[in-house]
Structure 1
Amino acid sequence: MTRFDRYLLSQFLALFGFFSLVLVLVYWVNRAVGLFDQIIGDGQSALVFLEISLLTLPNVIRVVLPVSAFAAAVYTTNRLTQDGELVVMQATGFSAFRLARPVIYFGLCVTLMLVLLYNVIVPASRTVLSARTAEISANLTARLLVDGKFMHPTDGITFYIREISDTGELRDVFLTDDRKASSRTTYTAQRALLVRGDVEPKLIMFDGMSQSYNLTNQRLSVTHFKDFTYDLGGLISAGEIPARSLDEMTTAELLFPTEAILAESRASRAALLADGHARIAQPFLALATSLIGFAALLLGAFSRFGLWRQIIGAIVLLVVVQMVNNAGSAAAQQSALMWPLVYLAPLLGVGISFVMLWVAQRPRARHNAGPGPNSSERGIV
C-alpha cells in the first residue's frame, strides 16, 4: 500500500467513525425512548434497561454502517476535490481506477466488519437478548410487585401493595378481581407472599378479608381468613424461552436447513435460504455504496462551490440500489431457487461504480492522447 493509499484510507476511516457514531446515537436514542418506557414501566431497574439497550446495539450498527460508508466516501471525496488534492493526483497521471484503490480498501474494511456483525455478533446478541427477555418476564417481583402504586396486570385486575419488606414480604395488600360480569371480588390482607408453584405462581395472603359483591341480586358476601391462596397463573406468564427466530440461528443452519430447523423456525426453506445468503451478500453493500459515492463525485469537474449535482446523483443511485435489494430479497423469499437474487444489489452497485469510473477517465484519455495522423498537416496550414 503506497503512502497515497494510506493517506486516503485514513481520511475515509476517520470520517466513517464520526458518521457511524452520530448515526448510531441518533438511531439508538430513537429506539431507546420507547424501550425505556416499556422496561421502566414494568418495574425494571435502569441497569436492566442499559443491558437490553446494549444487546440491541449490534443490530443498530449493522443497519448504520453501509450508510456511514457512503457518507464518508462522499464527504471525503468532495473535500479532497475542493482542496485540489484529487486534481493534482489526476494531473500526475493517476487514472480513476487507480484513485479508487484506497476506496476499495476502505469498502472491504467495512465489509469485513459487517460480515462479523451479520454472521457472529448479531445472532449471538439476539440469542442472549431473547433469553434475557424471557428471564425478565419470569421475574414476578419486577413485573408486578411495585409498592405504593396501583398496578393493572390485566383487564379487570387492580393490585396495590403499600410496602415490600427486605425479605420479600408484602404488607397491606389490596386486590380487586372484576373480570366476571356477574360479580366483583375484593381481597385485602395485612401480609402476603408471592411464591412460585409447580405450574403457576401463587399469591398467599394472611390475616385478610374477601368481599364478593353479586351484581345480579346485589348481595355482598364477606369472608375473613387467616390465610388464602390466590392463583396468579392467568395474570402472569411463566416467561418460557420462545422458539428461535431466523436472526438467532447460525448462518450454517440457514444455508443448510434440516427438517428440525424448519419446524423450529416455522418458516419456509426459501425464507431460510434467503436470510442465510443475505448474511453473505449484504455486507458487500458497504463496498458498493462507498464506490458509488466516490465514482459519482469523480465525474464532476473541479468547483469551489462543491459537487452538489454529483452528490444528489449518488444519493439517487443509492436509492435505486436499495430498491433492487428490497425487490431481490422479497423475490428470494418466495422460492428456494431464487436465492441468487440476494446478490443482485451488491453486484449492481459495484458494476455501476466501475462504469462511472470508466466514464470519469475517458476525458483524460482523450486529453492525453498524442497528436493525430494529420496533425502535421494542420500545423503547416
Structure 2
Amino acid sequence: MSRYDRYVLSQYLLFFGFFALILVAVFWINRAVVLFDRLIGDGQSALVFFEFTALSLPNLIRMVLPVAAFASSVWVTNRLNSESELTVLRATGTSPWQMAKPALAFGIITAIMMSILTHFLLPTSIATLEQRETEISRNVTAKLLSEGDFLHPTRGVTFYIGRIDPDGTLNDVFLSDRRNPDQVVTYTGGKAYLVRDEDRTHLVMVDGMSQRIDMQTRRLSSTIFSDFSYDISSLANKAEEKTRNIRAIPSLELLQDRARLIAEGPYSAGALAEELHLRFARALVCVAVALIGFSALMVGGFSRFGVWRQALVAFVLLIFVEGLRGVVSEPVLENADMWPLIYLPTAVGVTAALIFLQLASKPLGPIWARHRHGRRSQNGDETEGGMA
C-alpha cells in the first residue's frame, strides 16, 4: 500500500474506534441498567455487577461492529470528498478501483476482528456467564438475607425477614408459597435459621405456624409447630437444568462434533449449521458494509449540496442487507443443506459495491451530456430548416 493508502486506512481505523466506542457505550448503559436492577436487587455485590457487564461486552461489540465499520467508511469517504482529496486523485488518473484499496483493507481488518470475536471470545464469554449465573442462582442466602423487604425470589413466592441478628438468626419470618394453583401455603415463624446440607439449603423455622388454603373448597387449615424445615433450594433458578446455549458452543465443536451435538442436545442440524455459518458470515459482512460505504459515495460528481443522496442510498442498502440476514436464516433452520443462503446478504452487499465502483469508474454524466447535446443540435437543425 502507498503512503496515501496507509493514511486513509489509519483514518478508517481511527473513526471506527470512535463510532464503536460510542455505540458500545449506548448499548452497555441500557444493559447495565437491567443488570443493576436484577443483581443488586437480589443482594449481589458491585463486583458481581461489573463482572457480568464485562462478560456481556463481547456480545454488544458483535452487534455494533458492522454498524461502526459502515459509519466509519461513510464518514471518512465523505470527508475526503469534501476536502477534494478524492478529486485530486481522480485528476491524477487514479481509478475508483485503486482508491477502494484502503476500504477493502479496512473491511478485512474488521472481518478479522469479528472472526476472533465470534469464534473465540463470544462463546467463551457466554459459557462463563452461564456458569456464573448458575453459581449465583445457587446462592440462595444472598437472595433471601435482606431484612425489612418483601422479596420475590421466584414467581409465586414471597419471603420476608423482620430482623437479622449478628449471629445469623432470622426473626419474624414470613414465607408465602403460591406456586401450586390448587393450594396456597403460608409459613410464619418467630425465629429461623439457614442450614446448608451439601448442595441443598434448608430454612429451619422455630415456634411458628403453617396455614394452607384449598382453592377448590376454600377451606383453611392451620398447624402450629415448634420447628419446621423447608427446602428453599427450589426457590433459586435451577440453571443447571437449562439447555446449553448454542452460542456458547465453540466453533471447532460445531464443525467436528455436529452428530454428537444433535444426538445429545435439543438443537437440530439446521440450527447448528445456521449458527456455524452465521459466525463466518458476520465476518464477511463487515467487508461488504465497508465497501458499500465507500463505493456508494463515489457515485456521482461534485455537488454543492454534498453527497447526502449517495449516503442515503448506502444506508438503505445497509438496512436491506441486515434485514436479509434475518430472512435467510429460516430456510436453513428447516433444512441444513440450505446453508449457502447464509452468505447471500454478503454476496448482495459486495455485488452492489462492485456495481457502484463500476459506475464511478465510468460515470454516466458525459454519456448523458453527449446525448442531450445531440438532441439539442438536432432540434436546432430542424428549427433552421423550418425558418428557411
On whether the aligned pair clears a TM of 0.5, the verdict is yes
- Structure 1 residue aligned with 2:208: 209
Residues 314 and 182 of structure 1: CA distance in aligned 2, closer, same or farther (over 3 Å): closer
Range with bigger deviation, 51-60 or 265-274: 265-274
- Structure 2 residue aligned with 1:260: 260
Distance (whole Å) between structure 1 residues aligned to residue 354 and residue 213 of structure 2: 80
- Runs (4+) off by over 6 Å: 180-183, 213-220, 364-367
TM-score, length basis structure 2: 0.85
Range with bigger deviation, 320-329 or 212-221: 212-221
Distance (whole Å) between structure 2 residues aligned to residue 288 and residue 143 of structure 1: 47
Distance (whole Å) between structure 1 residues aligned to residue 333 and residue 186 of structure 2: 52
Report the count of equivalent residues. 363
Instruction: Please state whether the residue corresponding to 2:321 is helix, strand or coil.
Output: helix
For the Cα contact (< 8 Å) 1:161–1:170, is it kept in 2?
A: no
- Structure 2 residue aligned with 1:373: none
For the Cα contact (< 8 Å) 2:140–2:232, is it kept in 1?
A: no
Residues 171 and 327 of structure 1: CA distance in aligned 2, closer, same or farther (over 3 Å): closer
Gap runs ≥5 in structure 2: 368-388
Measured after TM superposition, the shift of residue 219 of structure 1 is: 7.9
- Structure 2 residue aligned with 1:378: none
For the Cα contact (< 8 Å) 1:58–1:117, is it kept in 2?
A: yes
* 1:202-224 deviation digits (Å, cap 9, x = unpaired): 11234x23264778798885636
Instruction: Please state whether the residue corresponding to 2:337 is helix, strand or coil.
Output: coil
For the Cα contact (< 8 Å) 2:270–2:334, is it kept in 1?
A: yes
- Is 1:102–2:82 an aligned residue pair? no
Instruction: Note the 1:1-381 alignment, pairs <5 A.
Output: 1-154=1-154, 157-165=157-165, 169-177=168-176, 179=178, 185-190=186-191, 192-197=192-197, 200-206=200-206, 208-210=207-209, 212=211, 223=224, 225=226, 227-240=227-240, 242-363=242-363
Measured after TM superposition, the shift of residue 366 of structure 1 is: 7.4
For the Cα contact (< 8 Å) 2:111–2:283, is it kept in 1?
A: yes
Measured after TM superposition, the shift of residue 346 of structure 1 is: 1.2
* 1:158-214 deviation digits (Å, cap 9, x = unpaired): 3222343555x1331322446486776442223x321233574211234x2326477
One-letter amino acid of the counterpart of residue 189, structure 1: G
Higher share of residues assigned helix: 2
* 1:265-286 deviation digits (Å, cap 9, x = unpaired): 3111121112111111211111
* 1:46-100 deviation digits (Å, cap 9, x = unpaired): 2212111111110110110111010011111111111111111111111000000
Distance (whole Å) between structure 1 residues aligned to residue 265 and residue 16 of structure 2: 36
One-letter amino acid of the counterpart of residue 132, structure 1: R
TM-score, length basis structure 1: 0.87
Range with bigger deviation, 29-38 or 275-284: 29-38
For the Cα contact (< 8 Å) 1:257–1:272, is it kept in 2?
A: no
* 1:213-238 deviation digits (Å, cap 9, x = unpaired): 7787988856362x432232443355
For the Cα contact (< 8 Å) 1:9–1:103, is it kept in 2?
A: yes
For the Cα contact (< 8 Å) 2:300–2:363, is it kept in 1?
A: no
* 1:327-377 deviation digits (Å, cap 9, x = unpaired): 22222222121111111211221121112111101149979xxxxxxxxxx
Q: RMSD between aligned alpha carbons?
A: 2.7
Gap runs ≥5 in structure 1: 368-381
Distance (whole Å) between structure 1 residues aligned to residue 220 and residue 109 of structure 2: 76
Measured after TM superposition, the shift of residue 241 of structure 1 is: 5.9
Distance (whole Å) between structure 2 residues aligned to residue 187 and residue 78 of structure 1: 70
Identity %: 42
Instruction: Please state whether the residue corresponding to 1:283 is helix, strand or coil.
Output: helix
Distance (whole Å) between structure 2 residues aligned to residue 314 and residue 220 of structure 1: 70
